[in-house]
Structure 1
Amino acid sequence: MKLLVTGAAGDIAFQLIPSLVRQGHSIRALVRSEKEARSIQNPAIEIVVADITNPQSISGTAADVDAVFHLAAALFVADPEEDLRKINYEGTINVANECIAHGVKRFIFPSFPLVLGPHTAPSQPINPEDAATQPNCFHALYKKLCEQHLLVLAEHGKFSPTILRLGTVYGPDMRLIKALKSFIKQGLYRIPGDGNYVFSPVHVDDVVQGMLLALNSEKAIGQIYNVADDMPVRYKEFVFMLADLLQVPRPQSVPIALYRVLAGFAALWARLTNTAPLINNDMVTFSTSSFAADTTKTKNELGFKPNYPTIAKGLPTCINRHQGLEKRSIAA
């Protein structure tokens, strides 16, 4: 198949694209800059530099394409309400419209369980409007609106989306894990609050597995699936295990309010310098909110089986694989 992958220089695409190439698929990779294009060092991959927030910029990118992995999204932004609306929500609509214009129906879209609002009991992959609570941050809100938009297109027969609600993605090459490891080793990291909020982790290798299963299954069309490991954990357990693997002292905690103060300064500095902030208040909210995912449907319908069913199995890969990796490139 000819596949379009947006956000092709991102962490998940970095793992996904080589797997797609190995399966014999032809890849058109959409990136937002020439710098990102240079990170994809594979002559078999067609690279397109375009901006998903500009419909004219992406015009023609879905031509002759059989399916789309829409992975492009922002996280580190100075103004979450405005920037995430423009990039994550309106950008998704622009890519969907481009697909419709070229008759491309298969559309695989990563979301996450917090679209249902904060919750501690493992949730089934229900529609957002059926949730008992509502999203508490802009990141989750715009993902929810994207889900609703794609499902409406499906109801009208214009689209065949598959929505994959990913747990918190971790892995050896993930930028957030690299940053967390660096701060922990230097003794600079502090856990926001008591660290007792619950989340469902998922190793990036299992994210790729879920995406490949969704692409290759007719059952996945028009469906929502959770993709996560088998055991939700408290955030402090995740951080403590990572510190233990690094053989350094476990981080202490600080009040969430302090994180919010730092996030405010980071966002202000980002606006003044036109750079991406390391943190913002929206990130503080969703990273300290509980959510847990039930993957029964994903296992039963797609045959999903995590290679790393717990962080005890998955976190060691973040220590033992690719140590000292400074530069990344996508190759077959």
Structure 2
Amino acid sequence: MAKQLTIAISGSTGFVGKNLRQFLADQNISVISLSRKKHKHFKSEKNIVFSDLDDIPKIKCDALIHLIGIGAQTKDANYELVNVRQTQKIVDLCKRSHIHKIVYISGLGVSDSTTFGYFISKLKAEQLIIKSGLDYTILRASYIVGTDDPLTKNLSKQIKQGTIQIPGSGLYRLQPIAIRDVCKIIFNCVTNKKLSRQIVDLVGPRTISFESYVKKFIRGKKAKIKKIPLEEAYFAALNNPKKIPYGIDDLNIMIGDFTSSHKKLEKLSGIKLEFPVL
């Protein structure tokens, strides 16, 4: 009889975390959910509530999926505090618990040459994991799409207001990947040795311009598209954020036009990727 897997998830109440927990529950995989508050849990799931990751006692599991992170800074939560320091605490938890495998969601566009604060924090987190001595898979994610993902929520809110704003030309591209595929790949990272000690771009099989993506998204819905000059978009994001539905870092990522080949991901995981249904 095959050994029953147990997988821990940090950041378990976010978009990816909730979908991953549901996916693992459907596969009858035991889950340890690490969160700051109690939440409704699935069968074969244990919820550990913490105020500080350093206070979590040893946990027994086969792998830890690290999803804690922020994509925008506030006075109370900056990139260094959340994306970097929390990753160090997760590494420490893995070491004291003798968890040998960590899977980390980083960002598409992260590189040694980046000057963008969000990507720098992700790069630092990656380096902490790589240098830890743990087995790892780092997934540099494009937009992960599914019901209630951040981009979908943003565009849906704009539709209710009657207009979707497109900063600049809208010709910059994204490479969305379906949340169902992401869940399969994360699970594959735990069980597939081909993904051991790998950094892989987590991207869908097709690139699409932001303008085309928006047009597909609003098809059949009553909403108009309004293009706004980039300078105006950045000025509003800095000085009047309620005027525009994108923050500075949202704009930096969108306009960065970050794309990659999906072939390495398909080859290593053995999963045929599908373009997300909009």
TM-score > 0.5 by shorter chain: yes
Shift in Å, 1:94: 0.9
In structure 2, the CA distance between the partners of 1:162 and 1:264, relative to structure 1 (3 Å rule), is same
Instruction: Name the CA distance, whole Å, in 2 between partners of 1:79 and 1:194.
Output: 32
User: Unmatched 5+ residue regions in structure 2?
Assistant: none
Instruction: Name the CA distance, whole Å, in 2 between partners of 1:190 and 1:63.
Output: 46
Q: Over aligned residues, Cα RMSD in angstroms? A: 2.3
Partner residue of 2:82 out of 56, 62, 87: 87
Q: Which amino acid in 1 is paired with 2:214?
A: V
**1:197–1:234 Cα contact (<8 Å) kept:** yes
Partner residue of 2:66 out of 59, 65, 70: 70
Partner residue of 1:141 out of 96, 120, 137: 120
CA offsets, 1:7-65, max 9 Å, x none? 11110111111221222221111112x3xx33x343632112224xx4433x32x5212
Q: Which amino acid in 2 is paired with 1:228?
A: V
Instruction: Name the CA distance, whole Å, in 1 between partners of 2:228 and 2:75.
Output: 24
Give the aligned partner of residue 229 of structure 2. Answer: 255
Is 1:48–2:23 an aligned residue pair? no
Residue correspondences, number: 273
In structure 2, the CA distance between the partners of 1:104 and 1:266, relative to structure 1 (3 Å rule), is farther
Instruction: Name the CA distance, whole Å, in 2 between partners of 1:262 and 1:78.
Output: 17
Give the aligned partner of residue 26 of structure 1. Answer: 30
**1:5–1:68 Cα contact (<8 Å) kept:** yes
Instruction: Name the CA distance, whole Å, in 2 between partners of 1:79 and 1:199.
Output: 29
User: Unmatched 5+ residue regions in structure 1?
Assistant: 117-128, 270-276, 316-332
Is 1:10–2:14 an aligned residue pair? yes
Instruction: Name the CA distance, whole Å, in 2 between partners of 1:279 and 1:144.
Output: 23
- Structure whose residues are more often strand by fraction: 2
Q: Which amino acid in 2 is paired with 1:298?
A: L
TM score, norm. by length of structure 1: 0.75
Shift in Å, 1:279: 4.7
Give the aligned partner of residue 259 of structure 2. Answer: 292
TM score, norm. by length of structure 2: 0.89
In structure 2, the CA distance between the partners of 1:173 and 1:50, relative to structure 1 (3 Å rule), is same
Is 1:177–2:152 an aligned residue pair? yes
Q: Which amino acid in 1 is paired with 2:260?
A: A
Partner residue of 1:164 out of 139, 143, 146: 139
After TM superposition, list the pairs within 5 Å mapping 1:186-205 onto structure 2: 186-205=161-180
